[in-house]
Amino acid sequence: MPELPEVETVVRDLRPHLTGCAFTRVWAGRRKLRKPWKKIWNRQLVGQRVLSVERRGKWIVIHIENDAVLLVHLGMTGQFCVLPAEAPMQAHTHLVFDLADGRQQLRFRDIRRFGSATLLRPRSSLASYFAESGLGPEPFDVDRDYFRKRLSGTARCLKAVLLDQRLVAGVGNIYADEALFAARLYPGLRGLDLDRNAVDGLRRAVRVVLKRAIERRGSSIRDYVGGSGLRGEYQNEFRVYGRTGEPCPRCRTPIARMVLAGRSTHYCPRCQAKNVNPRVSARRRAPALITEA
DNA sequence: ATAGGCGCCTGCTGGC
DNA sequence: TGCCAGCAGGCGCCTA
């Protein structure tokens, strides 16, 4: 579910509630998440204050006193909210952290349990944790040269490249499709098919789409809510994602759907050209890419 | 190196 | 009405 804009929204919502606040009690349910929660972490967290709440890619990073980090991933259906302690406990709530004021709780809820919560100690292991997974740079930190280099060197399709967290961290299925539409690029093009302009355009599109989605507090299709329980609004601005058969907002051609990199992929068959730069260089059209619909 | 397939989970929708 | 297949915002593992 949650991609960079959703996780960023959660982090921004949680930050004012958690920063400087101590955990007074931790409760963990029996059913395990992607990684099991260890009982010893309860004791290690109680009495400790939150130093900061940050985001890295799709990860929520909560720095705690006592040289620890609470690392949370929302998977597909994770919700991480501060709620009044008396709020009814919803089904699929797996972790509850009582906050020092006694009136509020931080709760982790996850229907499909693809999410995870881990306590890392010491804090310095955070860097190696991300390094081992090869987590790439934040999209807003990526410069032109890096993007050109990584794109030109790969025969993988653009959709797969954008979903690969090692290249750029935080893009998921929705924003990959939306960015490719914004850049007018066919998702099945290979990285090395693109000229410099196209690569630069894609980098720009990723940033613009993510930034706008953050402004709209992310996208709520079914389960996603921010850290305050509020839904996002960007789903109202989708141009292709989930709009199979509806008219393209630019040219009215029906939006098409195909499976790429194992994921449902939505695009406009007319304005997302299979050749790189249709208006400028029809010559560059690669024959292998203009067959099949 | 990379694509494809599966598994991990639950819940909802649409077709018959 | 009921059943079943297919689908869903993620990711890691395996195989070819």
What is the per-residue pLDDT for A242?
Answer: 95
Q: Is the peptide bond before A84 cis (omega within 30 degrees of 0)?
A: no
Q: Is the CB of A91 under 7 A from strand B?
A: yes
Catalytic residues of A: 2-3, 58, 263
What is the per-residue pLDDT for A1?
Answer: 60
User: DSSP of A56-108, one letter per residue?
Assistant: ETTEEEEEETTTEEEEEE-TTTEEEEEEETTSPPPTTEEEEEEETTSSEEEEE
Our measurement of CA A113 to C1' C12, in angstroms, reads: 15
Query: Under 8 Å CB-to-CB from A12, ≥6 apart: which residues?
Result: A226, A227
Which bases of chain C are under 7 A from a protein CB atom? Answer: 7-12
Whole-number Å distance between alpha carbons of A32 and A36:
5
The pair of structure tokens assigned to A120 is 């890392």
Whole-number Å distance between alpha carbons of A130 and A128:
5
Our measurement of CA A61 to C1' C12, in angstroms, reads: 21
The residues of A between 62 and 81 with beta carbon within 7 Å of nucleic strand B are none
Q: Is the CB of A31 under 7 A from strand B?
A: yes
What is the per-residue pLDDT for A101?
Answer: 84
What is the per-residue pLDDT for A269?
Answer: 95
Q: Is the CB of A262 under 7 A from strand B?
A: yes
Q: Is the CB of A32 under 7 A from strand B?
A: yes
What is the per-residue pLDDT for A247?
Answer: 95
Q: What is the mean pLDDT of each run of 10 residues along chain A (293 residues)?
A: 93 97 97 94 97 98 96 96 97 97 95 96 89 94 96 95 97 97 96 96 98 96 87 94 95 95 95 71 35 28
